[in-house]
Amino acid sequence: MKPDSFYLSEIEKRLTYGRFVHSLNVADCAKALAERYGADPAKAYTAGLVHDIMKDTPKDALREYVIKSVGGDDRVLMSQKALWHAIAGAYALEHELGVDDKEILLAVRYHTSGRAGMTLLEKIVFTADFISADRNYPGVEEMRVYAFRSLAEAMEEGLNFTIKELCGKRRPIYRDTVDAYNEAVFARMQGE
Ligand SMILES: [Fe+2]
Ligand SMILES: [Fe+2]
Q: Using alpha carbons only, what angle is made at residue 88 by residues 87 and 91, rounded to the nearest 5 degrees?
A: 90
Distance (Å, whole) CA 172 – CA 178: 11
Task: Report the length, in residues, of the chain.
Answer: 192
How many C-beta neighbours within 10 Å does residue 100 have?
A: 10
Distance from the CA of 42 to the center of ligand 2, in angstroms?
18
Beta strands in 2-82 (DSSP E): none
Ligand located closest to 81 CA: 1
Q: Distance between CA 136 and CA 84 in Å, rounded?
A: 24
Rounded Cα distance between 144 and 130, Å, is 8
Q: How far apart are CA 66 and CA 70, in angstroms?
A: 6
Give the mean pLDDT of 146-164. Answer: 96
The DSSP 8-state label assigned to residue 83 in this structure reads G
Q: What is the pLDDT of residue 191?
A: 82
Mean pLDDT on 44-63: 98
Domains, in order of start, for the chain = 4-191 (1.10.3210.10)
Going from the Cα of 89 to the center of ligand 1, the distance in angstroms, rounded, reads 9
Q: Measured at the alpha carbon of residue 112, what is the angle toward residues 31 and 81, in degrees to the nearest 5? A: 140
- Which of the four pLDDT bands, split at 50, 70 and 90, describes residue 39? very high
CA distance 26 to 13: 18
CA of 181 from ligand 1 middle (Å) equals 18
CA distance 143 to 16: 26
Banded pLDDT at 192 (limits 50, 70, 90)? confident
- Asked whether the predicted pLDDT for residue 18 surpasses 90, the reply is yes
Distance 139 CA to ligand 2 centre (A): 17
Q: Which ligand is nearest to the CA of 132?
A: 2
Give the whole-angstrom CA distance, residue 138 versus residue 136. Answer: 7
Is pLDDT above 90 for 123? Answer: yes
Q: What does the pLDDT look like over 69-105, one tens digit per residue?
A: 999 999 999 999 999 999 999 999 999 999 999 999 9
Q: How far is the centre of ligand 2, averaged over its atoms, from the C-alpha of 190 (Å)?
A: 31
Considering every ligand atom shown, identify the ligand nearest to the alpha carbon of residue 48 and give its number: 2
